[in-house]
Amino acid sequence: MEARIPFLEVSDAIIYSGAETLYWCMQCGLCTGTCPYRLVPGPASEEFNIRLVQHLGQLGLEGFESENCLFACTTCRACVDVCPRGVEIINNVVGMRRMLAEVGTIPPSLKTIAGSLHSQGNPWSGPRDQRTAWIKDVEIPTFSEQTEYFLFVCCTSCFDARSQNIARSVAKALTAAGISFGIIGNEESCCGETIRKVGDEQLFQNLAQANIQLYNGKGVKKIIVTSPHCLYTFKNEYPEFGGEWEVFHYSEILASALSEGKLKLSGSNAGAVTFHDPCYLGRHTKLYDPPRELLRNLPGAELMELARTKNKSVCCQGGGGRVWMETAAGERFAELRIHEAVASGAKTLVTACPYCITMLEDSLKVLGKQDELAVKELSELVAERT
């Protein structure tokens, strides 16, 4: 085997791109062992070794660039949570992706996404002027100085037909709870969370700046989001660029409305439900209780926990750009979750993230378990009972 020659200038560049904790890693392998790819078969499972990726990074060596390696990472944070050295593994992944993004060597499917974000402000190639098409026949207030909350709807729920129901459900539930909220409209752009994880930093910053300018111009102080991904970036990443608001996931708002008695739930029995913690709501934001509060209070609901729950939840595989990439059936994390949900005895698998819904519903169909299990967004269950 020919000896490989470390190239530390590359390592420096990776660190400069954001992998600041690259050298904190002591190569114990806990990340690789914890990674959900160990739970499934397939090329990504075999190629994507996050410990090794970081070691290659430390040495400035190539060999991690493929779609099934560096771009396999879903940024689920399972490894970061347990890392004994406090390595910001996601940042290291993103740093390495940025290096590649700068020279344009990102997977082709992601290039299309970037193109759409550039031109339309959303990743789904949806025309910008159709951003509010999800509203259909519902009445949604427009945000003004008098509105308390600006409701930001995730691009996925703006453009994806299935996902639009989430947006409508959130709006309906908020209305029922008497929350003062409003949308801005077609000028809104994608939050940029996921494209940033993919490595296109410039694009993210463009989107962020556009949004910040828009929201600040409108006098936004508090934001309700429909997706935990938007929640994460608004909360943690926007302040650096001047976007400093109070940001809430809709489940937080609804759960407190419920406890204050402003939101009343009635109607059909929810039955046996179980909750899949979205990575960005759970591990990334540590919100485990509000969704469960809502579920417990649904009429006739019995909440069962999945075998791997809360901080041990297994990713749906939609984060980090994977929602835009193809994973072969039989290799999907979401399949694990479907099996787990069936095993839990629940009839409805509930989650609170549009990516999770996409991934879980796909797998439900692939596995043909529709008769045993339904997949629902939390907002849908709530809205149906307001």
Partner 1 sequence: MSDAQRKVLVVGGGISGMTTAIEATEAGAEVVIVERNPYLGGRVVQLNQYFPKLCPPACGLEINFRRIKQSAGVTAYTLAQVTSIAGAAGGYDVTITVQPRYVNDNCTGCGKCAEVCETEIPDPLNFGMNTVKAAYLPHPMAYPFKYVLDPSIIGTDEAKKCKEACPYNAIDLEMQPTTVSLQVGAVVWATGWDPYDATKVDYLGFGSLPDVITSVMFERLAAPTGPTGGKILRPSDGKEVRSVAFVQCAGSRDENHLPYCSGVCCLASLKQASYIRERNPDSKAFIFYIDVRAMGKYEDFYTKIEQDENVTLTKSKIARVSKDPETGSPLVEGEDISQGAKVKQTVDLVVLAVGMAPGTASVKPDLEMGYDDFGFVTSPGDSGIVPAGCVKAPMEVAASIQDATGAALKAIHRTLGR
Partner 2 sequence: MDQKIGVYICSGCGIGESIDLDALSAVADEEFQPAKRVVHPAFCGEEGAGLIRSDVDAGDINTVVVAACSGRVKTDVFVFDPMTTILERVNIREHVAWCQPAGEDDTRMLAEDYLRMGIIRAQKTKLPAPYQEEIDKTILVVGGGAAGLQAANDAAAAGYSVLLVEKEPEMGGHMAKWNKSSPTKPPYQELEEITINELIDQAKADERITIFTSATIEKIAGAPGMFDVTLNNGGGTHRVGAIVLAAGWKPYDATKLERFSYGTLPDVITSVQMEEMAKAGKITCPSDGSEPSVVAFIQCAGSRDADHLPYCSAVCCRASLKQSVYVKEQNPENKVFIFYKDIRTPEQSEEFYKKVQKDGTVFIKTDTAQIAIGQGSERKLSIEAVDQLMGEPVLVEADLVVLAVGMQPAVLDDPILNLQYRQGPALPELKYGFPDSHFICFPYETRRTGIYTAGCVRQPMMSSRAGSDGTGAALKAIQAVELTAKGKAVHPRAGDVSYPELFLQRCTQCKRCTEECPFGMYNEDEKGTPLPHPTRCRRCAICMGSCPERIISFSNYSVDMIGSMIKGINVPDEYEEKPRIVGLICENDSYPGLDMVGLRKLQYAPWVRFIPLRCLGSVNLVWIADALSKGIDGILLFGCRYGDDYQCHFVHGSELANTRMTKIQETLDRLMLESDRIRLEQMAIDDYEKIPKIIEEFTARLQELGPNPYKGF
Residues near partner 2, by CB under 8 A: 1-6, 8, 11, 15, 23-27, 52, 55-56, 58-59, 61, 85
Q: Which is nearer to partner 2, 10 or 210 (CB)?
A: 10
Q: How far is the CB of 52 from partner 2 (least distance, A)?
A: 6
Q: Least separation, in Å, of the C-beta of 50 and partner 2?
A: 13
Question: Least distance (Å) from partner 1 to the CB of residue 311?
Answer: 8
Q: In the range 307-346, which residues lie near partner 1 by CB under 8 A?
A: 312
Per the structure block, which two tokens stand in for 198?
């993919």
Indicate whether 219 belongs to the interface with partner 1 (CB under 8 A): no
Query: How far apart are CB 84 and partner 1 at their closest, in Å?
Result: 4
Smaller CB distance to partner 2: residue 87 or 184? 87
CB-nearer residue toward partner 1: 200 or 340: 340
CB of 201 to partner 2, least distance (A): 22
CB of 33 to partner 1, least distance (A): 3
User: What backbone torsions phi and psi does residue 220 show, to the nearest 5 degrees?
Assistant: -70, 135
Buried b (16+ CB within 10 A) or exposed e, 126-151: beeeebbebbeeeebeebeeebebbb
Cα distance between residue 50 and residue 96, in whole Å? 12
Q: Which residue has the tokens 């025309």?
A: 127
Nearer Cβ to partner 2, position 26 or 138?
Answer: 26
CA distance 18 to 92: 7
- The 9-38 site mask, x for binding partner 1 (CB under 8 A), equals -----------------xxxxx-xxx---x
Distance CA 25, CA 53 (A): 11
32 binds, among partner 2, partner 1, none (CB under 5 to 8 A by kind): partner 1
Question: What is the C-alpha separation between 141 and 30, in angstroms, rounded?
Answer: 48
d(CA 308, CA 305): 8
* 225: three-class secondary structure by DSSP: strand
11 vs 285, beta carbon nearer partner 2: 11
Helix 161-176, helix 250-259: angle, nearest 10: 30
Strand order in the sheet with 222-225: 181-182, 149-152, 222-225, 246-249
User: Contact at 8 Å (CB) between 281 and 287?
Assistant: yes
Q: Which is nearer to partner 1, 25 or 176 (CB)?
A: 25
Q: Which is nearer to partner 1, 30 or 135 (CB)?
A: 30
Chain contacts with partner 1 (rule: CB under 8 A): 26-30, 32-34, 38, 49, 51-52, 82-86, 312
